[in-house]
Amino acid sequence: MIRIATLATVLLAAAPSAAQLAALEQAERPTLKRTATITGEIVRIGDLVDHAGAVADVAIFRAPDLGQTGSVPAASVIEAVRAHHIIGLDARGIGEVSVTRASRAITVKDFEARLLRALEGQPGLGSAKDLAITFEHGVRTLQVEPDASELAIARFQFDAQARRFDVTFEVPGSVVARRVPLRFIGAVSETVEAVIPLRGFAQNEVIKASDVTVERRPKTEFAAGPAAALEDVLNFAAKRPLRPGQAIRAADVMRPELVVRNDTVTMLFEAPGILLTIRGKALEAGALGDVINVLNVDSKRTVQAIVSGPGRVTVTRATPRLAANQARKQTQ
């Protein structure tokens, strides 16, 4: 009796419980999916139903366009699969199924980058980073199959004299790319990095970092003079009024004037063991380090002094006449 009871206990322990059987049955029961992502042009039963069994590969709907998402009412899915003997489909209370067609986007930037690599080093052209492309007709983002190859150039022509291109792209392995025209024509131009005012500047106004931005502009804009570098603009002053959006040239800026003509200045006389401070009148404007003429208000004598700070000049025993201001004025 003991052996029989023991055997019964072992068999009872090995047999699945009613709850386990119910869970196993539920796990294998056909179940409607809430979302589905597919790669082909056809939606199959297995794309929308878990545990579809032998009919998982049966086609039932057309897929959305590449990169697009569509919705299918749950009732339509149930009706479509009923003919294929899927019984007891658990809709889980889902009202509709969201179906997305997987894709890979080839953007306008991708077209430009691939073309720039082809244009780089062509006769009369420099580095790709210094080139700008203008397409004659609009270029739009292209959605292709996720497993398609990278964008490539099938045909390329470049007219160095006119700086015009004629290019045809291809995407090997993409059915969609073969259906759309990928031939583009247009022009290429050289660009330079330029400093652009975000607001207007009055003459002698000092330029700060928050007042400007840096962007690339066509090189042809600077036929009258080279573009100014950012480090040659910040904390410098506008030599003439500047308009917002107009690129700053090197000739448009100067060191800010610390002394204004006819202003009262502090004159520092320096000599070995001697330092005197007296009042003077600036007869010229000057930036830091410029040598200008200053009138000694007490002696009524005119001396040459070096601009050493705002409203301050320094006179040494022998100050050479520096043509900094004059040279700058002659170039204006």
Quick: pLDDT tens for 66-78.
Answer: 889 999 999 999 8
Q: Is the pLDDT of residue 120 over 80?
A: yes
H/E stretch holding 190 reads strand 183-197
226 within domain boundaries:
yes
Q: Are strands 96-101 and 35-38 parallel, antiparallel or unpaired?
A: parallel
Per-residue pLDDT band at 225 (split at 50, 70, 90): confident
21 within domain boundaries:
no
Residues 188 and 301 in one domain: no
**How many of the other CB atoms lie within 10 Å of CB of 277?**
9
What CA–CA distance (Å, rounded) separates 200 from 242? 5
217 within domain boundaries:
yes
What CA–CA distance (Å, rounded) separates 36 from 77? 13
Q: Is the pLDDT of residue 100 over 90?
A: yes
Joined together, the tokens standing for residue 177 give 């790319």
What CA–CA distance (Å, rounded) separates 155 from 112? 15
Residues 263 and 298 in one domain: yes
Q: Give the gyration radius of the chain's Cα atoms.
A: 40
Per-residue pLDDT, averaged over 19-46, amounts to 77
Q: Is the pLDDT of residue 49 over 90?
A: yes
Q: What is the mean pLDDT of the chain?
A: 85
List of residues 6+ apart from 273 with CB closer than 8 A = none
Residues 108 and 180 in one domain: yes
Q: Which of 253, 280, 301 is the last residue of a domain?
A: 253
195 within domain boundaries:
yes
List of residues 6+ apart from 255 with CB closer than 8 A = 236, 237, 287, 288, 289
Residues 76 and 93 in one domain: yes
CATH number of the domain residue 199 falls in: 3.90.1210.10
pLDDT confidence of residue 61? 92
Per-residue pLDDT, averaged over 218-227, amounts to 85
Do 293 and 284 form a contact (C-beta atoms < 8 A)?
A: yes
157 within domain boundaries:
yes
Q: Which of 61, 77, 101 is the last residue of a domain?
A: 101
Q: Which of 101, 117, 134 is the last residue of a domain?
A: 101
180 within domain boundaries:
yes
Share of the chain above pLDDT 70, in %: 87
Residue written as token pair 């929308």: 48
Do 192 and 223 form a contact (C-beta atoms < 8 A)?
A: no
List of residues 6+ apart from 15 with CB closer than 8 A = none
CATH number of the domain residue 325 falls in: 2.30.30.760
15 within domain boundaries:
no
Residues 107 and 170 in one domain: yes
Residues 89 and 117 in one domain: no
What CA–CA distance (Å, rounded) separates 36 from 322? 79
Residues 95 and 107 in one domain: no
Residues 145 and 230 in one domain: yes
Residues 167 and 276 in one domain: no
H/E stretch holding 157 reads strand 152-159
Residues 283 and 191 in one domain: no
Per-residue pLDDT band at 196 (split at 50, 70, 90): very high
Joined together, the tokens standing for residue 145 give 């199959």
Q: Is the pLDDT of residue 19 over 60?
A: no
Write out the residue range of the structural domain in which residue 142 sits: 103-253
Per-residue pLDDT, averaged over 138-152, amounts to 93
Cβ neighbourhood burial of 148 (10 Å; 0-12, 13-18, 19+): middle
10 within domain boundaries:
no
Q: How much is the pTM?
A: 0.60
Residues 247 and 265 in one domain: no
pLDDT confidence of residue 73? 93
Q: How many domains does the chain have?
A: 3
Residues 97 and 137 in one domain: no
